Amino acid sequence: SYVVTQPPSVSVAPGETATLTCGGYGIGGKRVHWYRQKPGQAPVLVMYNDRDRPSGIPERFSGSNSGNSATLSISRVEAGDEAAYYCQVWHVSGDHGPKVFGTGTQVTVL
Amino acid sequence: EVLLVESGGGLVRPGGSLRLSCVASGFTFSDYSMNWVRQAPGKGLEWVSSISRPGTSIMFYADSVRGRFSISRDNAKNSLYLQMTSLRAGDTAVYYCARGTDELATDDAFDLWGPGTMVTVSS
């Protein structure tokens, strides 16, 4: 099965940039999507197709993907960005491969 | 308002069955693929199953539920379902329905989520 790895936690000071990574073999050849989940709430899509922002997501959020790692960057971090972030890909296997989530990264704003 | 609302969760004994529902509103349900995603207490997200938009009849499942769970939809009722059988303790989770961004339910993101419904499998 395809494994997608994320660091368990990232800490960042307000106003700085948080860099979240999502690792997987050849992930640069896949479309990576990112979700933010606050405690007790459903996930929210914050980035899709590597670098596209859904409406309502600020320009502070940006994405990239190449090689074996995808990245979600959050610039000018605010207290409200504190949450768990999950990446997700579609892994082709057989007729219809599974949709795989990363292990998640907890972002803490210091 | 664009919404998804799940229902049908509850406490069920191991080996039992449960049917989850998800009602959509505020958008043309039949234009979209749909998905179920679950989250065990204190754990990460796990994709469960997907179904394409009507007319293409594509359904697929995670290995962990294949053969036990069945996804379906009723476009006249704007509803998505998950029939769960042979439930195990490991199926205990919050179950979310989520709208897909690709009509064939492949290689897509989930751009709208419901609040979730809790399923607890315990004796």
Tens of pLDDT, residue by residue over B85-119, are 999 999 999 999 999 988 777 788 999 999 999 99
Per-residue pLDDT tens over the stretch A20-73: 999 999 999 999 999 999 999 999 999 999 999 999 999 999 999 999 999 999
Residues of chain B with C-beta less than 8 angstroms from the C-beta of A86: 44-45
Name the pLDDT band for A94 (thresholds 50, 70, 90): low
Name the pLDDT band for A96 (thresholds 50, 70, 90): low
Which candidate, A52, A99, A58, places its Cα nearest to that of B96? A99
Per-residue pLDDT tens over the stretch B34-72: 999 999 999 999 999 999 988 777 898 998 999 999 999
Residues of B with CB under 8 A from a CB of A: 35, 37, 44-47, 50, 58, 60, 62-63, 96, 98, 101, 105-111, 113-116
What is the structure's pLDDT at A98? Answer: 82
Residues B76, B116: Cα–Cα separation, whole Å: 22
Do the Cβ atoms of B35 and A54 come within 8 Å?
no
Looking at the complex, report in whole angstroms how far the Cα of residue B78 sits from the nearest Cα belonging to chain A: 20
Per-residue pLDDT tens over the stretch B14-30: 999 999 999 999 999 99
Do the Cβ atoms of B45 and A42 come within 8 Å?
no
Looking at the complex, report in whole angstroms how far the Cα of residue B47 sits from the nearest Cα belonging to chain A: 6
| Token code pair at residue B73 | 């939809």
Cα angle A60, A101, B13; round to 5: 130
